Chains A and B, each alone.
Chain A
């Protein structure tokens, strides 16, 4: 009872007297938790909604049989339907169709159509059954009928009975909206129609995308899978439906985790801020704690008092953070849907669900980091000898331990060692630890560095000038650098992370710009409205395009998705003409290339993206097999190219090789170089006059570049927001620290005013101190940030997303930010000082503590 009363008195007294510092600490924790929690909620909502949507497409099935290529021969269906262990088999054809007039440069504008056998689907995928009008019960089987999910109807602005034009390749088909799919998930844009009609309308006669299997009761899943895999040719995949979720998780895992880590940066910065606030607060209260020790509080009780105060801060900040995070998540899901700019969860509308376990975890994290930030100062305060601590001026003694640089060196060395370790479960775990250690090491190094730097500056100043106030400012920084360094830890953390992110984002952006220039050498690109259209251009249509006037050169491209590992997302296979003598003319190669003379004659060369090396170990010179034909065929990895477009891997192959192996003569894209006297606009007009001209989509490299960079910037919008919050938290920290320090110096300012120093001079002195300190912090922050950016660029990115980039420093932006921070810090110091200087001069010198 008494102890609680004492705790309440001491805590309330302190909090009421230093509201700004307390509020800033709470805000720092709150923002950190809010960011982390909201991003977690958004990701969880998006993944679970996406999984649920995908699950509804698989229905009650136990297994899906797919091929390594998008479609396969439907003759497999009767075999599986009559298979001993199979209770029900349901054939499905999946088609992405374009909607004429719905082209959008960024959003996915295709409609996913599932061709199903209605009678089979009743038992296997009941969610996919359309609801026909009461007077037309057989519409489910009609060849012109299509059923749309509510989201698709809304998007397409159609209702039951309307005609819906759909386009695949160069062919347009008009179907009748026969009803809805009432069990589709919110936001899920899908359509269902009879499988026979889909095959016929969309030129997919005789092929299927997958067969869903429901097993007879009592059949072992493992045994069935193993047996079926043995029975089927190699290019078939038997996928347990439950494994789909894992695959969906894997697809966006790196993106989600990196976003989470980025969100935790705000909390990380907040931890330094709490540390800095707690150190300064315990230093200020050092004589008070000493008095309490003299009056009879044990060391444990002092430690307990400080930690209880901190945990109260942590509890308040974390609770506010959870509430704010929930609101943020709900708002973000409404504004951005579940995507957050990453593009991993298209066409779903997840809603935020409060996750008590996650809330508990983030709450514990918030309280934990607050306690962590307070532990060192609390320990020091409890260990301090009361007699010397009672006297003022003992603060720097308390911080003397911080001058020892060995903990900083240990962190920095450990950080360097961790950069050499490989990823864990395809995640740059050691990379993240390395960044954290680098940051901690840098901040721990600040006091000894500041001590050396300001002592040197003071000496230089003394030799060159005799300005009293500037000398006073420098003397203070030279003789009491530890407090100054601690005040800066929050801003150092946020600024260095901002520098790191800025360098990383700039490097990434410029690398992408260079990459786009390299991969888009032609004047005009043409394709049908569906990307990687399964139908594309027939040989006759290719000929008609090639015969158009004004073309100097034309490269046809066929790209498709293939599955190499059912547990991973699909890989893009791109078949196009490639300069064998120098593939660098066609592709943005890394240095890893096999010379054409070294290529064996019995293997077909392929060029793989960096992700293929990381994910599938496709090293240069390695012989591999690809599921492109029934006949066994060796391929050799002839080089590695940089690909920022496909995180899960891409393979390039000569178009002629591809056509020979597969017999597939259709293509789905053409790159066109125009004759000098032909303009792209005139050429496009000519092309539109072709019989299938209306179905074509044209892109010019500058348009693609602009769109790609727009997508890039949108993807990083959340990153910028999180960065800004981290910097805001850092600056708040500077304001709180400077204001706390200025208040502690009321006596000093009173004394200066007594001996004739004007208020203006004191303000200038404070601004100079603030500016010098911030300048030093910014310098160190820049160095630290640059080192962190190297880890992000050369370790975290390649290990997360499997691509490398070149280092680019955005000097202009960095200098502007540094100047802005410098001015903000100097102004903050000045404003904080005003409060301390504006008091009564006589009273100030009498202040005890």
Chain B
């Protein structure tokens, strides 16, 4: 049966080699264009969940569907190609390649997907870095680096953005600015998004807030902007 949701998790469980179970029989469906925040205590499995969704790790049981494609049916190469086309990533530590210019960094997903490179400049303009295309990451502040990461995550128009503590390294004002930018760009590009965060303020920018506990993903009461 072909699934039409952007993301569907069915009965996902994950236990680490040391016997610690982090996810148990977790199910959730993310509709196209939906932007959710996932909160939870440290070690509950938030980042693990993102890794499973991105195909960077495999669940012990259950199935993950991305745009109707079951991840378990993919080998590593196919999972990589899926990730390349359908996902955008934003990390707490920015992860911008230090020896490439900002323009080159943002162009990476376009290059990998064999798309025209013109949109990289547009995206840099959209995140407020017009005129800085030839700068190197070492010339940027933390907030600016995260803007580059947002531009890179969205430049190839992916279906799903995964953001892991995107404002964890930023001061509150910059964080708020980045979160607003992220939301507006995700919405403007018609993508769905999942943001994993400890911050209530960050979660508040999402359409819906989910709490990850041992019992699974639960909607947080009063946590919806939708």
Contact = CB atoms under 8 A, between A and B. Distances in A.
Interface in A793-849: 846, 848-849
B114 A2 contact: yes
A297 interface: yes
B51 interface: yes
A169 to B, nearest CB: 78
Contacts of A295: 83-84, 89, 108-109, 112, 152
Contacts of B51: 387
A296 B84 contact: yes
B112 A296 contact: yes
A291 B56 CA distance: 11
B206 to A, nearest CB: 22
B57 A298 contact: no
A300 interface: yes
Nearest to A12: B99
A247 interface: no
A296 B109 contact: yes
B168 interface: no
Contact of B100 (A9, A293, A846): A9
Interface in B153-178: none
Contact of A287 (B57, B95, B152): B95
A286 to B, nearest CB: 12
B110 to A, nearest CB: 8
| Residue from the set B54, B91, B99 with the largest chain A CB neighbour count within 10 Å | B99
Secondary structure of the A contact surface, majority rule: helix
Nearest to B93: A848
Contacts of A849: 98
Nearest to B152: A295
B65 interface: no
A298 B54 contact: no
Contact of B77 (A6, A294, A300, A385): A300
A848 B84 CA distance: 23
Interface range, B side? 20 to 34
A329 interface: no
Contacts of B114: 2
Contacts, number: 78
Contact of B112 (A6, A300, A385, A390): A6
Contacts of B201: none
A390 B85 CA distance: 20
B94 interface: yes
Interface string A1-34: 0110110011001101100000000000000000
B205 interface: no
A296 B89 CA distance: 11
A495 B153 CA distance: 50
A386 interface: yes
| Residue from the set B51, B91, B95, B142 with the largest chain A CB neighbour count within 10 Å | B95
A299 interface: yes
Contacts of B112: 2, 6, 295-297
B56 A386 contact: yes
A288 interface: yes
Contacts of B145: 848
A294 B89 CA distance: 8
B99 A390 contact: no
A16 B51 CA distance: 33
A685 B215 CA distance: 113
Interface in A384-406: 385-387, 390
Interface in B67-83: 76-77, 80-81, 83
Interface range, A side? 20 to 34
Contacts of A287: 95
B135 to A, nearest CB: 14
Nearest to A290: B95
Secondary structure of the B contact surface, majority rule: helix
Contacts of A294: 54, 56, 83, 89
Contact of B97 (A2, A5, A13, A16): A13
Given A6-B111, A293-B80, A385-B56, A848 B94 contact: yes
A385 B89 CA distance: 16
A385 B57 contact: yes
A14 B83 CA distance: 25
| Residue from the set A9, A385, A846 with the largest chain B CB neighbour count within 10 Å | A9
Contacts of A390: 91, 93, 95
A849 B93 CA distance: 10
B87 to A, nearest CB: 8
Contact of B80 (A5, A6, A298): A298
A617 B80 CA distance: 67
A292 B99 CA distance: 14
B3 interface: no
Contacts of B76: 298-299
A296 B80 contact: yes
Interface in B31-48: 47
Contact of A17 (B80, B99, B111): B99
A100 B95 CA distance: 83
B113 interface: yes
Contacts of A17: 98-99
A9 B97 CA distance: 11
Contacts of A13: 97-100, 104
Given A5-B111, A296-B112, A387-B57, A14 B99 contact: yes
Nearest to B54: A294
B57 A296 contact: no
A292 B80 CA distance: 10
A296 B104 contact: no
B186 interface: no
A98 to B, nearest CB: 71
Contacts of B81: 296, 298
A831 to B, nearest CB: 23
A256 to B, nearest CB: 46
Nearest to B79: A298
A846 B83 contact: no
A181 to B, nearest CB: 66
Contacts of A386: 56
A390 B94 CA distance: 11
A134 B35 CA distance: 107
Contacts of A293: 80
Contacts of A9: 100, 104
A385 B84 CA distance: 16
Contacts of A298: 76-77, 80-81
| Residue from the set B47, B57, B97, B145 with the largest chain A CB neighbour count within 10 Å | B97
B193 interface: no
22 contacts: A2-B111, A3-B111, A10-B100, A13-B99, A13-B104, A17-B98, A288-B97, A291-B95, A294-B54, A295-B89, A295-B108, A295-B152, A296-B112, A297-B84, A297-B112, A298-B77, A298-B80, A298-B81, A299-B76, A385-B57, A387-B57, A390-B93
Interface of B: 47, 51, 54, 56-57, 76-77, 80-81, 83-85, 89, 91, 93-100, 104, 108-109, 111-114, 137, 142, 145, 152
Given A296-B83, A390-B91, A848-B145, 13 more contacts: A3-B111, A6-B108, A9-B104, A13-B97, A13-B100, A294-B54, A295-B112, A295-B152, A296-B85, A298-B80, A387-B51, A846-B142, A848-B96
Interface of A: 2-3, 5-6, 9-10, 13-14, 16-17, 287-288, 291-300, 385-387, 390, 846, 848-849
Nearest 7 interchain pairs by C-beta: A296-B84, A13-B99, A296-B112, A17-B99, A298-B80, A387-B56, A387-B51
